[in-house]
Structure formats: structure tokens, C-alpha cells
Structure 1
Amino acid sequence: MTVTEQPGIDASCAGCGVKLQTTDKELSGYIPASAAERVPAICQRCFRIKNYNDASTVTIDQDDFLRLLGGIASTDSLVVHIVDLFDFEGSVISGLQRFVGSNPVLLVVNKIDLLPKAVNYNRIRNWVQQQAKEQGLKTVDVVLCSAKRNIGFDRVVEAIEHFRGRRDVYVVGATNVGKSTLINRIIQDYSDLDAELTTSRYPGTTLDAVHIPLDDGKSIIDTPGIVYSHRMTELVPRSVLQAILPDKPIKPLVYQLNEGQTMFVGALARFDFVSGDRQSFTLYISNGLEVHRTKLERAEELYANHKGVLLSPPSVEELDELPAWTRHSLRIPRGGDYDVFVSGLGWMQVNGTSGALVDVYVPKGVKVLVRDSLM
């Protein structure tokens, strides 16, 4: 039931202007039925920001999100784009530059704490800059951080203060990139929340974008997280998320393979080394996932007999909630290190210099690509 169906209740949140609803906590505009008769009525997200300094994650339709982005071009703002280093290509907003116009973009790369400890952060930063350039992003700076572990957060705040001047700040990002964690840190340390929450409305649609007042009269505009269905994290059942989303540094899994061998990552992905010289493959996936090797000629039989049990997650019942697998046949170039990237799951580094042919099977719709190696 929407609030409009309840007599005498305003249909819009007094905090952010979104249409109120009482049915789905995960969507914008949610208000508990017990609070729907309050005047003024505000959604749960605005209530938590105002009373607990806590910005929760909500999602909206992709078309609405793109209309919101289009409105940024007419403002004079700093755009802070938060991406997930573990799922960079899956979480970067494609075409962001054309939506935000001439406004500067600060790229904040979250979850660096998930990388192995012996990592060269200068190399990581250079890699990110190159990837951003290939995506058409013109960034004023790239900042690596871990909002969860409080690594590099001071540098994030310094960069925001340096590049925003007297501007508002729009914070944009996909779901599960850590946007709300960063927003909460900024709210706690740098926002004057004694002021009333500012109403935010955009032409053509009602969105759950919240203006969080700053001490200088400007605002941080916290936008909803965009859902990208090409990410494994958006397709799997909720019960599987804990297994595939790493929460501690990844332990690389190194395998020496001959052609004609297969690796299963639970029942979520299958990697076939179809042809090439014997070489090393390194998996960067959540420590909560198990890998099983077999001969390519036995792969179909193994999957048919053990999916959802030995090969899990997901479970047998949860497999029915996933799209059928589709094959991606990838040619790995000679003469360098490359990653086979699976959005929302991780990547497999191909360490040989002689090239290889690799087939990857994942649920239909999941983004799979070959990229220059991150590590």
C-alpha cells in the first residue's frame, strides 16, 4: 500500500520529496506503516539521517537515475564518484562525463583493504587512472580508500574540500560500493545536522536524493545507488551475498594448469583453459568461496552431478533463482599479464606470456571481459 491510499496522508516525503510507500524497505520512500500518519511524514532514510546521522542505501530505476545525473550538468557542483576496486568495471558509471557536463569529477576508489597486503598502491592508482581514461572520465583526482577500515578517509575529505570550493557536492555510485559508509563518515565529522533536512526535487521525476547541510551553507547531495544488473551481486540470492562479497584481504589462489583443465568457483562460474601452453592462473575472489578443478572433458558431468552441493554456493534451491549460464570465449593476448574479470565475483589473472584461449561460463547477463592486470 502506498501512502496515497491512506486518507489524510501526504504522498511525498517532507525531507527529500520522494513518493512514500510502506511495502519495501529496500526501495526509496519507505516509511513504516506506524509512522505514516505523522505530520510531516518523512521516509525512513531521511529519518535516520536526521536523527541518527546514518544514510542508508536505497535504489531507484535506472532511467530515473540517469535523469538525476542529467540535472547535475546545469549546476555548479563537485561530483564525487565512488567505485568499488574489487568490481571496478562493474561499478563505474558508464558515460558519467556526458551527464555531469563541465563539473569536476573526483574519483574515490573504495575497498582497497580487500587487496593483498603486499600491494603497490602507486601502481593501483596508475591502473585506475588508465581505466578511468578508457571509460571517458576526466577526473581531477583519484583517491584510494577503505571507508570500512578508515584507510585514506582523511585524504578523501581533503580532496573534497580542495576541489569543491564553494560548491555543493553530489555523491554518486552503484549499489554495494560503500557509498553510504562514506556518506555517514562525512555526516558524522563535517556536517551540521542541527539544521532541518532540505527538500530535494528534480524536474520530471521524484527521487530520493537527500541534501545534507554543511557548515558553510552548501550541501552534500546523497543520491540513490544505481542497480547494474550485469553484476553478479545483483543476481544472486541475498543469502549468497555474504559468501561472494569479501570482508577481509583476499588470499590469491594460484594454479598451474595445462590446457584442457577446468576450474569451478562454487556453482557461480566456470573457467575452461581451452588451449595454450602450461601456465599460471591466479584467482582473486572472496575467501569464502571454494574452487574445484577437473578435466575439461569431465566438467559437464561434474556440474550436473554436484551443482548446489559440492559446487556451492548457491544451493540447489537457490540455483533456480539464477539465469542459465552463458559462455564467453576469450582470447588472452601474448606478451603480458591480463585479467579475466567477472563483475561482482572477482577476476582470474593469466600470468603466462604465450597467450591462451579461455571459456568462461557465468549466469546470463553478468559482465565478463579481458583487461590489463590490476595486480
Structure 2
Amino acid sequence: MTLDTKKPPHCAGCGIALQSEEQEKPGYVPASSLNKEEAVCRRCFRIKNYNETSNVAVDQDEFLKLLGGISSTDSLVVHIVDLFDFQGSLISGLQRFVGQNPVLLVVNKIDLFPPVTNWNRLRNWVQKQAREEGLKVADVVLCSARRNIGFDRVVEAVNAYRQGRDVYVVGATNVGKSTLINRLISDYSDLERELTVSRYPGTTLDAVHIPLDDGKSIIDTPGIVYAWRMSEIVPRKDLASLLPDKPLKPMTYQLNAQQTLFIGALARFDFIEGERQSFTVNVSSGLTIHRTKLERADDLYAQHRGEMLSPPAKEDLDEFPAWTRHRLRIAPNTKQEVFISGLGWIQASGKTGAVVDVHAPKGIKVMLRESIHS
């Protein structure tokens, strides 16, 4: 491979421009490896081989500038979202960036839902939620990149809508973009190339162009970092507890008014008013839920935060954003749930209605939505 001396080589894993001068900056690679074909930066090497990472930030304006260029192209836009964190990972403003290009919405991580799930009903739910967020989609495909479930349908949809064009892949951090692209590469290209895949947000740092056999490209864009997602603010050592990697096991609690549920030290759910009813909590099995009376909740948190109530651990809570209270009114005879971005959701029984307070770190998206199981 002949390198263009006017343009620095780029990491084959994350796409960042390579440099050998400053070890603490993005794209560092030893000088001896700088001009190697398919070279990877030190950060990608450590993520892939040792599951390590480093605190590297890329300017958010650069992300938006990159997305803004899509409208001037003739491309298929594949938007990957995380079904577990749908409202947290959907790029609601994507429509203004893509222009007239079709958008294929790929909904990843369906392996977290039970096999008996009504997938047609779930697909309809996704379409309705996307429409309410202002996103027009040509089609919706459900899949699990990790488990290779439904991937044949993703390839069929890409074939149907690509029509010989480039493919831009966009999404928030940690929704499974790189895992999915690696599968697309194996189907569309003979390249022996693999993008860096990690549980850590922001693994891809710049646009990565992967040439296809027909002369077009798959363009993997950097993940948009949304600070309203719990996964963006927890200590990295707690991500394994926060992000489920096996089917959810909903926990149902029969609560009277004036009772509280703590989800570790990440959030608190207060049932303020309403008849005795059930609330079903859908979060990672790596998190522990504690129930108490509302009158004891403040004292319980003060005494056990970071220990019995964890994660985060006590030494990390001083750096954690203070909680903000959100009051939500669940209407009677509706199927609604409380959604906490990056953490999960709590489904109300839906018969008599309820008033609830949700305490979550400041800035985290908390909202009422139509039940995903409705």
C-alpha cells in the first residue's frame, strides 16, 4: 500500500488519524508501526487485546459536521438504535441531516427480550416511537448483532434499499454499530478487517470508510455521545453491571402508596399516590433493587449509599451528578411505563393510575412512554 504523504494514515479500528509524537493524545502509535498497512492505534490495540480503554474525547461539533455532510450524498443511511435504550439512543434530529436519503432503522439487542415476544407488535411500537420523535424511516429491522439473530433480514434490507449506493451507519455510542458493521463487512467485502468493538462508549473516533467489492463504501461514523444516558456518566467499571448482556428478568413489586424502590444508587422510584398496584422493573440483572417506605428513603440512602445501595461505589458518588426529582402522572386505564435512559424502565399495571416521583442523576432523560409490551 502506498501512503499519501499529504494525508496521515488512519487507524483501521477507530478511524482516527495516526500520530507517533504524543502518547496521551488520540491516534498514538509507535513510530515503527506508523506506516504499517491496517495499523491500529494504541488505544484500539489495548481495547481489543486487554479490554482496556483510555479517556479520549472527540469534539461533539465534529460529530455533527460529519452527519451534516450526509444530505449532500446519494446514500442509504442505516441508523442503529438500542432497543433497551430506545429513546436514549435514537437520533431524533437525524431527519435534518440525511436530506432525501432513505433511512433504514436497525433495532439492535432484541436478544435481551424473551423469545415469546410478539415481534410484529414490537416492530409497530418502534415505528410509532420513531414517528413521534420526528424520524421518517423506510423500514424497521429487528436484530441482535451479538447473537447473530435476524442479521439475514438486515442484509436483505440493505440490499433492497442500497441500490448501488454508499451506506452511512449512524448511531449513539454503545448501540452495537461496530459489531453490526463487522458482520456487513464479512457479507459485502473480502477485506480481512475488523473494527474495534468494546463495551465502552465512543470507541469509533472518526469516520471509517470500508471499501466494498462494487466500488462503494460503508462509512462508519463516530457514535453520538448523549449525556442524558446513564451509560455515559457511570464509572466505567460499573458498565458491566448497568448494561445487560443476557435476557432481562423483569421484577414485579406490589406497592402501596408511599413506598420506594432503589435501583442501586443510580435511581429512586417513589410511589406517591394511587391504589395498591404492581410495578414491573426492567433493568440489568447486575443491579440490586431495594424496597422501603418513603418516610425512610432519605435516611436509608444517607446510611447505605455506595455500599448496600450500589453501584456506584461510595468513593465514586462524590463525582456523580446530584439527583433531580421528576414527578410523573400515569393516567388510569393506560399502558404506560417510566423510562430512565440507559437504566431501563418501570411498567405500571395501568388500571387505576398513579403519581410517581423518579429521582435520577441530573441530566438523565426520564419520561413516560407507551409500554413497550403493550
State the TM-score, normalizing by the size of structure 2. 0.87
Deviation at 1:136, TM superposition (A): 1.1
**Over residues 177-222 of structure 1, what are the superposed CA-to-partner deviations in whole Å (9 max), with x where a residue is unaligned?**
0011001111122213279xxxxxxxxxxx7211111111111011
C-alpha separation between the residues in 2 aligned to 1:125 and 1:213?
31
Aligned CA distance change for structure 1 residues 284 and 24 (closer, same or farther; 3 Å): farther
2:112 alignment counterpart: 114
Deviation by residue 1:113-172 (Cα, 9 ceiling, x = unmatched): 001332111111000000010111111100000000000001001100110001100000
Please report how far the alpha carbon of residue 45 of structure 1 lies from its aligned counterpart in structure 2 after TM superposition. 9.4
What's 2:243 paired with?
245
Partner of 1:100: 98
Provide the C-alpha distance between the structure 1 equivalents of 2:114 and 2:179, rounded to a whole number of angstroms: 22
Q: Which residue of 2 aligns with 1:187?
A: 185
Q: In structure 2, how many angstroms separate the alpha carbons of the residues matched to 1:252 and 1:35?
A: 52
SS in 2 for 1:226: coil
Corresponding residue number in structure 2 for 1:31: 28
Tell me which moved more, 182-191 or 277-286. Answer: 182-191
Relative to structure 1, the CA distance from residue 334 to residue 104 in structure 2 (aligned partners, 3 Å threshold; closer, same or farther) is same
Note the C-alpha offset of 1:236. Answer: 0.2
Q: Where in structure 2 are the equivalents of 1:1-375 lying within 5 Å?
A: 12-14=8-10, 18-21=16-19, 29-35=26-32, 37-38=34-35, 43-44=40-41, 60-193=58-191, 208-375=206-373
Query: Are 1:59 and 1:227, in contact at CA under 8 Å, matched by a contact in 2?
Result: no
Question: Alpha carbon RMSD of aligned pairs, Å?
Answer: 2.8
Partner-residue secondary structure (3-state), 1:225: coil
What is the SS of the residue equivalent to 1:331?
A: strand
Distance 2:36 2:151 in 1: 38
Separation (CA, whole Å) in 1 of partners of 2:181 and 2:326: 37
User: 2:11–2:17: 8 Å Cα contact kept in structure 1?
Assistant: no
- Distance (whole Å) between structure 1 residues aligned to residue 234 and residue 372 of structure 2: 25
- What fraction of aligned residue pairs are identical, expressed as a percent? 64
Q: Deviation at 1:225? A: 1.0
Cα distance in 2, alignment partners of residues 87 and 38 from structure 1: 40
Cα distance in structure 2, aligned partners of 1:316 and 1:21:
38
Amino acid at match of 2:276: R
Amino acid of the structure 2 residue aligned with 1:250: L
Q: State the shift of 1:261 in Å.
A: 0.2
Deviation at 1:321, TM superposition (A): 2.5
CA distance in structure 2 between the aligned counterparts of 1:40 and 1:161, rounded to whole angstroms: 30
Superposition TM-score, scaled by structure 1 size: 0.86
For the 8 Å contact 1:325–1:362, the answer to whether it is kept is yes
Distance 2:31 2:323 in 1: 44
Shift, 1:332, TM fit: 1.1
CA gap 1:102/1:311 in 2 versus in 1, 3 angstroms = same
Tell me, in whole angstroms, the C-alpha distance in 1 between the residues paired with 2:285 and 2:44: 36
- Give the Cα–Cα distance (whole angstroms) in 2 for the partners of residues 45 and 341 of structure 1: 37
- Shift of the 192–328 alpha-carbon distance from structure 1 to 2, 3 Å rule, reads same
Asked if 1 retains the 8 angstrom alpha-carbon contact of 2:18 and 2:34, the reply is: no
1:226: how far off? Answer: 1.2
Deviations 1:303-332 (A, max 9, x none): 000111111111111212211111111111
Partner Cα distance (1:323, 1:166) in 2:
47
Structure 2 stretches lacking a partner, 5+ long? 194-204
State the Cα distance separating 1:246 from its structure 2 match.
Answer: 0.3
Q: Distance in 2 between matches of 1:24 and 1:103?
A: 40
User: In the alignment, residue 291 of structure 1 is paired with which amino acid?
Assistant: I
Q: Sort the Cα spacing of 1:263 and 1:190 in 2 relative to 1 into closer, same or farther, 3 A.
A: same
- The one-letter code sitting in structure 1 at the alignment partner of 2:30 is A
1:275-297 C-alpha deviation (Å, 9 max, x unpaired): 11111100000011110000000
